[in-house]
Amino acid sequence: MKKIICSLFAAVLLALPLASQTKVIAHRGFWKTEGSAQNSIAALEKAADAQVYGAEFDVWVTRDGVAVINHNKDINGIVIEKTDYEDLKGEKLSNGETIPTLKEYLKEGARHRKMKLILELKDHSTDKNDMRAVEIVAELVKDSKAYRRGQMEFISFDYEMCKKFAELFPDIPVAYLNGDKSPSALKKVGIDGLDYHKTIMAVRKDWLREAHNLGMTVNVWTVNKDASILKMKEIGVDFITTDHPVRAKELLEQGE
């Protein structure tokens, strides 16, 4: 009898998705700190100093095909997609750095080999530009040390871009940001994770369970308040993307 109960207990344990610790991703690098700026090389370095799981950053491609790091479609009013690199390369971030190229960013990122580089490719103005951006980014990533070291991950709000990344890089985690597709629908096209707004995951616990049962990851953004960080930990998401990576780490590591 004892033996049967033990085997039943073991079977139940095996059937449960493995509980994993919630990890921290620094949103646009660690920028809310002295000398830093969103999507800067300094923010990447400071994220590494904070020993987070990953640094997230945003990528646009210029008219002449240079991938640069920036969140908005424009830098200081210059629309990246409609401008040649030569005409925006001198543009400054708020900490005085010039706008980084993806090539520079990946090179710097590879120096911090324990940290993942979470590359968000922005949704460009046309489908044609979207696919061109994926190809340009894919080439740069394939040539990078960060890729060879297994540091790369891709995210996008654009479903087609995610699908294309999943097809080109079956070895790299790809997560979808737009919050409107079920885990099984994403899994079917090779996408490995959900990276949804925190309010969606707070109510779609079924998606969280479904994702974990399918071996997919769940990330939430942008989780800044202490109470939200703790709530997301309680729900059991795998990653939180935050503007407060040091505080988030502190909270998540409490009681371990």
- Please report, as ranges, the residues that interact with Mg ion according to CB under 5 A: 58, 120
Q: Closest CB to Mg ion among 45 and 120?
A: 120
Q: Least Å distance between CB 134 and Mg ion?
A: 16
Q: Closest CB to Mg ion among 58 and 243?
A: 58
Q: Least Å distance between CB 184 and Mg ion?
A: 25
DSSP, res 59: E
For residue 178 the two structure tokens come to 């737009």
DSSP 65-97: S-EEE-SSSEETTEEGGGS-GGGTTTPBPTTSP
Q: Least Å distance between CB 157 and Mg ion?
A: 9
Q: Closest CB to Mg ion among 144 and 156?
A: 156
Contact 107, 145 (CB under 8 A): yes
Where does the chain have alpha helices with state H? 2-15, 41-49, 102-110, 127-142, 145-148, 159-168, 183-188, 198-203, 205-213, 226-235, 245-253
Closest-by-Cβ residue to Mg ion is 120
Nearest to 31 by CA among 95, 87, 127, 89: 95
Q: Closest CB to Mg ion among 140 and 212?
A: 140
Q: Least Å distance between CB 219 and Mg ion?
A: 11
97 CB burial (10 A radius; 0-12, 13-18, 19+): middle
Q: Closest CB to Mg ion among 58 and 192?
A: 58
Q: In whole angstroms, what is the distance from residue 219 CA to residue 24 CA?
A: 9
HSE-CB at 17 with a 13 A cutoff on CA atoms is 17
Q: Closest CB to Mg ion among 54 and 212?
A: 54
Residue 63 three-state SS: coil
Q: Closest CB to Mg ion among 58 and 123?
A: 58
Q: In whole angstroms, what is the distance from residue 177 CA to residue 159 CA?
A: 8
Q: Least Å distance between CB 41 and Mg ion?
A: 16
